[in-house]
Amino acid sequence: MKFEHKLYLGLGVFFAVIVAIYWFWSGESGGSTLILASALLGLVPGAYLGWWAMRMKPRPEDLEDPTSEESTGVVGAFPTYTIWPFVMGMGAFMIGLAMVFGSWTLVIGFAFAISAAISVTLESKRGGAV
Amino acid sequence: MTLLEQKGEASAHLPVEHHQGPTGYYRWLSSTDHKVIGKNYMYTSLVFMLIAGLMAMLIRTQLASPNSTFVSQQTYNELFTIHGSMMLYLFAGPFAFGGFANYLIPLQIGAPDMAFPRLNALSYWLYLTGGITMLLGFFTASGAAAFGWVGYAPLSSSTNSPGAGPDLWIVSIALVGFSGIFTGVNLVTTIFYLRAPGMTMFRMPIFTWNMLVTGLLILIAFPVLTAALIMLYADRHFGTHVYSVKGGGSPVLWQNLFWFFGHPEVYILALPFFGMVSEIFPVFSKKPIFGYKGLVFATLAIAGLSTGVWAHHMFTTGTVLLPFFSALSLLIAVPTGIKIFTWIGTMWGGQLDFKAPLTWAVGFIVAFTMGGITGVFLASPPIDFATHDTYFVVAHFHQVLFGTTIFAGFAGFFFWFPKLTGRMYREKLAKLQFWLVFIGFNLTFLPQYLLGLRGMPRRIAVYATTDHFTFLNRLSTAGAYLTAIGFVVFLVNMWVSWRSPIKAPDNPWDGHALEWATSSPPPSHNFHKVPPIRSNRPTWDMNHPEHADGRVMTAAELSREVLD
């Protein structure tokens, strides 16, 4: 976790240096805002990971030579089959087409997307293979 | 007991296991297995590539003779717009970060799946529907978008490009953009949180490293494009004036936003393919990779620098800080050069086995280096002013992108084909395809450099006999047809391996990374047992204990050595 933290932070610091040079040299606000946002994209998650790295023991994947005892535990629950991402994708497709053709597909699109959002949430709450 | 065995026990009581799942089309529609989604991505993007390739053939046929009327000028504009858009948004990126990364990352780090399997499935459906949306443009009354893959303002405004085609283009790329962002989140989270015990950051395969950095670049670049597209849509439909001078907006703002996405995008396309050849060179040279840490830090340097060079596409607008963007663009050549050096260093003194993957990978170095060096020329503003919007630039970016996505892409495709399908491809056909494509590729694009230097502008449908562009254009078109024959050979290869399969062993190349330690194709949750990971070549160590990689360093030692 410590290295992940340093990786994000390093990118954030790099962009912070670049934005300082760019802003003082060019005075151009559009590009400066974008690089500043990139710097924050490094610094904010970097700080979060660092905050956790200080409070956690190294995980088995951070250890060079983990013992079998350190390597036990449940990785997580992974769904195997669920139709709802497909339904949500079709909903997004219909909404997209409605943005071009301004038609009744908007209603179907939202019906698909909302039902999929509710179903996928319930499914995740139930957990495990679904 | 490993984490994964534990996982198997933990899920044993759950209602549905992979092997009990649905069958037929429903299985395909509802699968959240990263391997199924990865293959879907790969095959879909190859189909999009072949469609866009056919468009390139039409473009080259039009340009084969002066004053040609093979297609109308409007159709020509639509063809090069959708050719570029499909190749960049629907093939090059999704083939790598949707296809290869989805399939390989969990296998390479010893994980049972991606971190967010449902989000992963949604990414694919957004990508597929986005691709279909783009092609729908050809079926509308006003035709598909015709303003180039960059969609510059004010050409893309509702006055200059009316109709449904441009709107379909905007919606399509927004859908594909969201799909990319979700994939980026999934990649970074998977690599940070689902590595097997002992798989430290500095033991990850280079491909996985490159995909991590690609994921970070996606998170920086793609949201900017999506936001820019939403503003373009608002300009076209809601009467806003973000990109029009009339209402106080700025057309150059579109270029700034677009290229802030567009230049990192070039590296989002390239880095995964750099990762693929970094896996191939050591295996076919029978050596560990030369300069592992150099490659990792070169990748990080490329990522950092790539976000500070966007305005080198805008030198001729006269609104950008030339020395800043020129200097950073030239600097990128340094980490890229380090990479080429380490690939050659890996092959140096190795026992080279010129199977199809290595042949394609060497072809990649040749093609990419030529394109890369002309990129260094273009980073210099005086040269850029002279060659901007000419065929010199067309030749440059095709050499870089074709060189990367096709040569390295097919190197990777043939390398992992046995793992993906459990079958072997036909070696002779793969080599024949290589030579046809390699000769065709150079014959297509080398003459375009000369055409550019002689002043042929890009995006023109017609040129006159008196321009003296005919001979070089004919050469270029002949090269394009040769390349197309190469892709027919590829389809024949796939057909043959489908109809008369040769079973592939689990580890046909004596591979190094973890994906070669499982069966071909892998079981539903990837591994029955993950081998111990004590170096960055765990499968090699397992199969060759007498030559296992050196002393194991402690985490503290390693991070001190790397960071201080």
% of chain B beyond a pLDDT of 70: 94
A121: containing domain: 84-126
Query: What average pLDDT does range B432-457 have in this prediction?
Result: 96
Closest chain A residue by Cα to residue B535: A64
Domain boundary pick from A13, A32, A62 = A62
Of B279, B115, B116, the residue nearest B191 (C-alpha) = B115
Summarised one tens digit per residue, pLDDT across range B260-287 is 999 999 999 999 999 999 999 999 999 9
CA atoms within 13 A on the CB side of B540: 21
Range in A66-75, B194-203, B421-430, B468-477 the model is least confident about: A66-75
Considering the domain architecture, whether residues A51 and A101 belong to the same structural domain is answered as: no
Residue-level pLDDT at B559: 54
Q: Is the pLDDT of residue B507 over 90?
A: yes
**Continuous H helices in B249-313:** 251-285, 292-306
pLDDT band at B115 (very low <50, low <70, confident <90, very high): very high
Q: Which of A77, A80, A89 lies at the smallest CB-CB distance from B21? A: A80
Range in B181-185, B237-241, B528-532 the model is least confident about: B528-532
Which of A81, A108, A121 to mutate: most B Cβ within 10 Å? A81
Summarised one tens digit per residue, pLDDT across range A76-110 is 778 878 899 999 999 999 999 999 998 889 999 99
Considering the domain architecture, whether residues A57 and A92 belong to the same structural domain is answered as: no
Residue-level pLDDT at B479: 97
**Distance from C-alpha of A102 to C-alpha of B359, rounded to nearest angstrom:** 51
**Distance from C-alpha of B180 to C-alpha of B218, rounded to nearest angstrom:** 7
Considering the domain architecture, whether residues A6 and A38 belong to the same structural domain is answered as: yes
Cβ contact, residue pair B7, A74, below 8 Å: yes
- DSSP designation for B523: -
Provide, as residue numbers in chain B, all residues whose Cβ is less than 8 Å from the Cβ of A15. 304, 307
CA triple A98-A103-A104, angle to 5 deg? 105
Summarised one tens digit per residue, pLDDT across range B1-10 is 334 443 333 3
Contacts A–B by Cβ distance under 8 A: 202
Q: What is the ipTM of this complex?
A: 0.93
* Residue with more model confidence, B558 or A94: A94
Instruction: Report the Cα B356 to chain-centroid distance in Å.
Output: 20
Query: What average pLDDT does range B26-36 have in this prediction?
Result: 90
Summarised one tens digit per residue, pLDDT across range B458-495 is 999 999 999 999 999 999 999 999 999 999 999 999 99
Helix, strand or coil for residue B126? helix
Range in B24-28, B301-305, B310-314 the model is least confident about: B24-28
pLDDT band at B556 (very low <50, low <70, confident <90, very high): low
Q: Is the pLDDT of residue A13 over 50?
A: yes
Q: Is the pLDDT of residue B60 over 50?
A: yes
Residue-level pLDDT at B275: 96
Contacts with B, A 86-105, CB within 8 Å: 86, 88-90, 92-93, 96-97, 99-101
Closest chain B residue by Cα to residue A34: B260
Residue-level pLDDT at A130: 42
Distance from CA of B452 to the nearest CA of A (A): 30
* Residue with more model confidence, B350 or B6: B350
Per the CB < 8 A criterion, the answer to whether B515 and B104 are in contact is: yes
Q: Is the pLDDT of residue B12 over 80?
A: no
In a domain, A22, yes or no: yes
Q: Is the pLDDT of residue B319 over 90?
A: no
Q: Is the pLDDT of residue B218 over 90?
A: yes
Distance from CA of A91 to the nearest CA of B (A): 10
In a domain, A68, yes or no: no
Cβ contact, residue pair A93, B260, below 8 Å: no
Which of B36, B214, B216 to mutate: most A Cβ within 10 Å? B216
What topology does CATH give the domain B39-563?
Cytochrome C Oxidase; Chain A (1.20.210)
Of B526, B531, B532, the residue nearest B7 (C-alpha) = B526
Contacts with B, A 34-63, CB within 8 Å: 34-35, 38, 41, 58, 60-63
Residue-level pLDDT at B7: 39
In a domain, A30, yes or no: yes
Which of A8, A38, A94, A95 to mutate: most B Cβ within 10 Å? A38
In a domain, A54, yes or no: yes
Taking the domains of chain B in order of start, what are their residue ranges?
39-563
Considering the domain architecture, whether residues A46 and A90 belong to the same structural domain is answered as: no
Residue-level pLDDT at B20: 64
Residue-level pLDDT at B557: 47
Taking the Cβ of residue A24 and every Cβ of chain B, the question of whether any pair is shorter than 8 Å is answered with no
Contacts with B, A 3-22, CB within 8 Å: 3-4, 6-7, 10-11, 14-15, 18, 21-22
Cβ contact, residue pair B219, A41, below 8 Å: yes
pLDDT band at A30 (very low <50, low <70, confident <90, very high): confident
Q: Is the pLDDT of residue A27 over 90?
A: no
Residue-level pLDDT at B201: 92
Distance from CA of B403 to the nearest CA of A (A): 28
Considering the domain architecture, whether residues A13 and A54 belong to the same structural domain is answered as: yes
**Tokens describing residue B363:** 């072809």
Number of independent structural domains in chain A? 2
Query: What average pLDDT does range B433-450 have in this prediction?
Result: 96
Query: What average pLDDT does range B247-265 have in this prediction?
Result: 93
What distances in angstroms separate CA B465 from CA B62, B282, B451, one per listed residue? 14, 51, 14
Q: Is the pLDDT of residue B331 over 50?
A: yes
Range in A86-100, B83-97, B534-548 the model is least confident about: B534-548
Query: What average pLDDT does range B218-243 have in this prediction?
Result: 94
Query: What average pLDDT does range B433-453 have in this prediction?
Result: 96
